[in-house]
Structure 1
Amino acid sequence: MDASVWARHVNPRSGWSRVSILPAFTAAVWSRTWIGWWSLAPIAAVLIWTWLNPRLFPPPTSTDNWMSKGVLGEQIWLSHDSEPTLAHHRPVVRSLTVIGAVAAILLLVGLALSNLPLTVAGLAIAMLSKLWLLDRMVWVYQDAGDESPLPISEGSRRMASEHSNRPTMR
């Protein structure tokens, strides 16, 4: 995503509505048991929503909320995960990523086999690991702080300093 898309994705409405994507995708794929090949329509709709979502909402009026901070932390992490100031996050981020990947495999196997318990377990674990990872990204954002040596994008730094009343955590 480019800087303008990231700025829009920081809107908490974008972040919270993206939480619906994995359950919606699961329901769309599961619908093949009821509507056969017509399930490609809801699957396509979810894929379009996945692409459209971070572009749909305007930049937020405030980033002083959990979801916006998580998205800003994600942006910082994706471009600066090897920074020494963020090193203490690496083991947790890696663990949550592995848990999420294993859960996604369980989910996909459950969907392929039309196994409801496996599908629901995979979905639940994947969602929990994603939300926990997002919470960790809030921590990454807070650790980066306004005086961070990390070269955070100018748009993210501006939004953080203009709209957040949080103290810098160092």
Structure 2
Amino acid sequence: MLWLVVNPFIFRPIDRPAHWIEKGVLGERLWLGRNEAAAVYKWSLRVLLLLGLVGLAGMIAGMVTLNLWLAIGGALVVMVAQIVRLRRFADIYNLYISNL
């Protein structure tokens, strides 16, 4: 919760994205706004969300059962799925910009 409060003061607003992660943030905004460019990636983003939820379940199960490898494996799946989702959001942004 503290990070959500402090984050806007640490990082400046993005005017012209230079890196794929900045484009990913703006692409996520397009996705949330139901932009037409985002519809192309609808299926893959849902699969990645499902994969992340499976990883989250594995991570929680690993923590509850004190299984270190299951917890680490689940966390790894969550992180990889989220990074790939962010990359898809960057693709949405690039597609949107190319259609302007």
Residue of structure 1 aligned with 2:69, choices 117, 132, 139: 117
Q: Which has the higher contact order (CA 8 A, sep 6+)?
A: 2
For 1:48, the equivalent position in structure 2 comes to: 2
How far apart, CA to CA, are the structure 1 residues paired with 2:6 and 2:85?
Answer: 20
Distance 1:144 1:62, change over 3 A: closer
Residue of structure 2 aligned with 1:75, choices 23, 29, 50: 29
Structure 1 residue 169 displacement after superposition: 5.8
Which structure 1 residue ranges, 5 or more long, are not aligned? 1-46, 146-167
Residue of structure 1 aligned with 2:84, choices 132, 157, 168: 132
Structure 1 residue 55 displacement after superposition: 1.7
Which structure 2 residue ranges, 5 or more long, are not aligned? none
Give the % identical residues: 27
Query: Secondary structure, in 3 states, of the residue corresponding to 2:33?
Result: helix
How far apart, CA to CA, are the structure 2 residues paired with 1:120 and 1:88?
Answer: 32
Distance 1:53 1:71, change over 3 A: farther
Q: Runs (4+) of structure 1 moved beyond 6 Å?
A: none
> TM-score if structure 1 supplies the norm length?
0.53
For 1:20, the equivalent position in structure 2 comes to: none
What count of residue pairs does the alignment treat as equivalent? Answer: 99
Structure 1 residue 88 displacement after superposition: 2.2
Indicate the RMSD between aligned Cα atoms, in angstroms. 1.9
Look at both structures and tell me which one has the larger radius of gyration over its CA atoms: 1
